Amino acid sequence: MYDTRRFNQVELAVTVGSAAAVAALYSFELQSPSRVYGASIAVTAVAVFWMATRLQSVGRQPLTVSPPVFRRQFSRLGIRSYGANLIALLALRADILIVRQLEGVEAAGQYAIAVNLGELMVMLPAVTGTILFARLAGEESSSRRWQVAWRTAQAIGGLIAALGAIAFLVSPTIIDLLYGTDYLPAATAFQWLVPGIVFLSVNVIIMNFFAAEGMPVVVVLSPLVALLVKLGLGLMLIPEYGIPGASAAAAVSYLAALSISVAYLARTGRFRGGD
């Protein structure tokens, strides 16, 4: 029913293809925002056609759309998925906007460097979660899905914690070498952000488990709580402590999001000894 390998091939092809298309534009000095965006859209369109062809070859009947089923699935899964991703994006970017408004462009630039370093660390959980989702969706047993997801979340949490400890120590040196002493405040902001990166990484894996379970409402609630906590704490801490305050607010917001996910898992009995 599920072709995990094919799904992963498409994901890899989209990533590599988009990077290659952008690199080609820069190589021939044809880069522009519209062309870069268009190249990404073109690669995605090819991937969609590829998957449609694959589904057509697997099924015995032509691909058709059932309006009642489409409306039901779109209203329950599509809108919920879109809302969750939109809120998550706002939660990840809201602090940069607040810093710019309250502390100015220079502080926002310094804080953006800290955030970008954090996003580099989150790339591993994000890629792992994408690959994991295909496997989880292929598991018929919900209990088995949870076992695989929880082991992966624990492994990712431990790995990111170890990498975060190293990054905590070397971040001042790296930022000084890459950006100069004017941007050293970004190192302090990043260090305050490290615990939040660990919380966020674990939650990324759990969110992919929720997606494989059919998008329960917690996929919207968890990032929504993160957004509200980040906005509230950010408005209190940034005027007093600057960009370290923004990082602290972000770390607490990611902990809050993870806490919501864990509370939902506990409420549904996922941490019982028999699971």
Predicted pLDDT of residue 257: 96
Long-range contacts formed by 197-200: CB under 8 A, 24+ apart = 197/118, 197/121, 197/122, 197/160, 197/164, 197/254, 198/157, 198/160, 198/161, 198/164, 199/251, 199/254, 199/255, 199/257, 199/258, 200/122, 200/125, 200/254, 200/257, 200/258
Average pLDDT over residues 49-59: 68
Residue scoring higher pLDDT (257 or 140):
257
- Burial label for 218, CB within 10 Å (0-12, 13-18, 19+), is buried
Is a pLDDT exceeding 60 seen at residue 101?
Answer: yes
Predicted pLDDT of residue 266: 94
Predicted pLDDT of residue 1: 43
Predicted pLDDT of residue 25: 75
Count of C-beta atoms within a 10 Å radius of residue 96 = 18
Task: Give me the phi and psi of 160, to 5 degrees please.
Answer: -65, -35
Rounded distance, CA 121 to CA 195, Å? 12
- For the chain, give the percent of residues with pLDDT over 70: 85
Count of C-beta atoms within a 10 Å radius of residue 51 = 15
Range in 57-71, 184-198, 239-253 with the lowest mean pLDDT: 57-71
Is a pLDDT exceeding 70 seen at residue 117?
Answer: yes
Domains of the chain: which residue ranges?
Answer: 1-64, 73-267
Q: How do residues 203-217 score in pLDDT, each as one tens digit?
A: 999 999 999 998 899
Is a pLDDT exceeding 80 seen at residue 245?
Answer: yes
140-164 core/surface letters (b: 16 or more CB in 10 A; e: else): eebeebbebbbebbeebbebbeebb
Average pLDDT over residues 48-53: 75
- For the chain, give the percent of residues with pLDDT over 90: 51
Residue 40 — very low, low, confident or very high, per pLDDT cuts 50/70/90? Answer: confident
**Nearest 5 degrees, angle CA 9-CA 15-CA 198?**
100
Average pLDDT over residues 171-186: 91
Average pLDDT over residues 45-59: 71
Average pLDDT over residues 21-26: 77
Predicted pLDDT of residue 65: 56
Count of C-beta atoms within a 10 Å radius of residue 268 = 15
Residue 241 — very low, low, confident or very high, per pLDDT cuts 50/70/90? Answer: very high
Rounded distance, CA 74 to CA 97, Å? 32
Cα first-last separation, the chain: 25
Predicted pLDDT of residue 71: 57
Long-range contacts formed by 102-106: CB under 8 A, 24+ apart = 102/235, 102/238, 102/239, 103/238, 103/242, 103/243
Predicted pLDDT of residue 118: 92
**Cα Rg for the chain, rounded, in angstroms?**
21
106-136 core/surface letters (b: 16 or more CB in 10 A; e: else): ebbbbbbbbbebbeebbeebeebbbbbbbbb
Average pLDDT, the chain: 85
Q: Decide: helix, strand or coil at residue 270.
A: coil
Residue scoring higher pLDDT (32 or 124):
124
Is a pLDDT exceeding 60 seen at residue 248?
Answer: yes
Predicted pLDDT of residue 67: 61
